[in-house]
Amino acid sequence: MAVTALHTRTLGISRTQPTVLIKRYVVLTKPRITALITFTALVGMFLAAATVPPWPALLWGSLGIALTCACAATLNQILECARDARMARTRARPLPRGQVSKRNALLFACVIGVAGLVILLFCVNALTAVLTFVTLIGYGVLYTVWLKPATPQNIVLGGIAGATPPVLGWAAVTNEVALPAMLLALIIFLWTPPHFWALAIARREDYARAGVPMLPVTHGVDYTRRQILLYTVLLVLATLLPFATHTSGVVYLLCALALDALFLAQAWRLNRGGGDAQAMRTFRFSVKYLMWLFAALLLDHYLLLPK
């Protein structure tokens, strides 16, 4: 046993290596973003159902969407490896550090992406599979390869792909796309610019070093602050639409108004000259905002159901 332990140390092999390796591949999937996206898709599923979504749509739809989202995140990191290596925020990711090879990362992305789409096609429905595939290409390839390095409006245009999860969830249950799902997508679409631009303000030197034309780099911080406030106002108006169209009730409306007031306060402070610390506070709150807003949609939906 002593000889074996010595031999293991000599080769540099750790008993925990499989666990470490798994963690590195998990990091490739951007787990927090994948979890948030899957959650918004789940809300779309529950809102589409009269009571509880059918278990095949709920189980296989969630799994398929999560796997495909993880694939898109991995492709994003593969294609941005050189750029990530120049940014302090991302240089510790597994690919820039050489902890996972691009070849293995691509193989991993293909396996989980194909698995996700096959699950959606054969266990859910073709519409959800097609919409999810379009989203995968939109974010994983078009946004990363073309939009992000080409225009300071990259976040706005790329937000179209990022806004689709509630539509995917709705389609998984109903096999169609309806107005309530599109309203949820609109909310995420308008949430995306203030969310990412707040981060971009705090990390503008990183983006400039990497050659990414984010709005604070190309148009300055003051202009970006005003754009964040503008999009936050538009977002507030969009969050009223589910109530205005009778998709949701008073419980959602009250929660949305409270969350909107908090988000507007963050954006207002940032616009009034808040520095990088305020930008990061706005960024972090925006994540909680979206999660709580969609949770309020879910709560309201089940409170409205006939007893």
Which CATH code fits 20-177? 1.10.357.140
CA of residue 295 relative to chain centroid, distance: 16
- Angle, helix 165-174 to helix 55-79, in steps of 10 degrees: 150
Q: What is the pLDDT along the chain (307 residues), one digit of tens a residue?
A: 444 443 434 333 344 488 889 999 999 999 999 999 999 999 999 999 988 999 999 999 999 999 999 999 999 999 999 989 988 889 999 999 999 999 999 999 999 999 999 999 999 999 999 999 999 998 888 888 888 888 888 888 888 888 999 999 999 999 999 999 999 999 999 999 999 999 999 999 999 998 889 999 999 999 999 999 999 999 999 999 999 999 999 999 999 999 999 999 999 999 998 899 999 999 999 999 999 999 999 999 988 665 4
d(CA 142, CA 136): 9
Q: Compute the CA torsion angle 103, 29, 157, 282 (nearest 10 deg).
A: -140
